[in-house]
A = this chain, B = another copy of it.
Amino acid sequence: MARKTGSHSEITGPRIREAAVRLFARHGYAAVSMRQIAAAVGVQAGALYLYTPDKQTLLFDLMRAHMEDLLRAWQAEPMRRAPLHRLEDFCRFHIRYHLDRTDGTFISYMELRNLEPKNFEMIGALRRDYEAALETILRDGVAEGRFTLPDTKLSTMALIAMLTGVNTWFRESGRLSRERVEQIYWDMVRRSVGA
């Protein structure tokens, strides 16, 4: 398996994506240059174009990967039957997953406006799929008389905003443990739906 000197295709690709996620999250897509990403990886700017046709595609691929991973991870969770249990699972899953991917989450919320229209629409569709997962739980709960919600669509948006907000303030070294944070958010969510 001899390989030419300086040939690192299997590791450079992932490293470019990791560096781009971190830098885009920290400074914003428009504020980060291809040179900065290359420098973080340890290659020259031109080498990036072996892995992405352009900067816009790099952003889009990162956002799509984030959303697809999120959907896959939720679908892989064991699914309990009762709406109240499913709502609890969703809350805890959402908090855990997003705290584990702060940079990817940040980009997926902040950089939508930097996507070209076609790419914007594709990411929007993935996001709506995820929101639909929560709304289905809420609708089932209302149908079974467990939740009291006059508008499940509004409540879906309200709850996702509340839960995702954990990323703006939570620090691993802070006062509250993850488990405690999960528990308190879940208590608020449970009460907010009238359960």
Binding site for B on A (CB under 8 A): 26-31, 110, 113-114, 150-151, 154-155, 157-162, 164-166, 168-169, 176, 181, 184-185, 187-189, 191-194
Nearest opposing residue in chain B for A31, CB measure: B30
List residues of chain B with CB within 8 A of the CB of A194. Answer: 191
List residues of chain B with CB within 8 A of the CB of A150. Answer: 184, 187
Q: Which 9 A-B pairs have the closest CB atoms?
A: A161-B165, A30-B30, A162-B162, A30-B31, A192-B192, A188-B192, A157-B169, A191-B191, A158-B162
A110 partner, pick from B110, B160, B169, B189, beta carbons under 8 A: B110
Task: Given A27-B113, A28-B113, check contact A188 B157 (CB 8 Å).
Answer: no
Residue among A31, A150, A188 having the largest count of chain B Cβ atoms under 10 Å: A188
Q: Are A158 and B185 in contact (CB under 8 A)?
A: yes
A151 partner, pick from B26, B114, B184, beta carbons under 8 A: B184
List residues of chain B with CB within 8 A of the CB of A169. Answer: 157
Q: How far is the CB of A183 from chain B (nearest CB, A)?
A: 8
A168 partner, pick from B155, B157, B168, beta carbons under 8 A: B157
Q: How far is the CB of A113 from chain B (nearest CB, A)?
A: 6
Residue among A28, A110, A151, A158 having the largest count of chain B Cβ atoms under 10 Å: A158
List residues of chain B with CB within 8 A of the CB of A29. Answer: 28, 30-31
C-alpha gap A162/B30 in the complex (Å)? 27
A162 partner, pick from B31, B165, B184, B191, beta carbons under 8 A: B165
Q: How far is the CB of A61 from chain B (nearest CB, A)?
A: 19
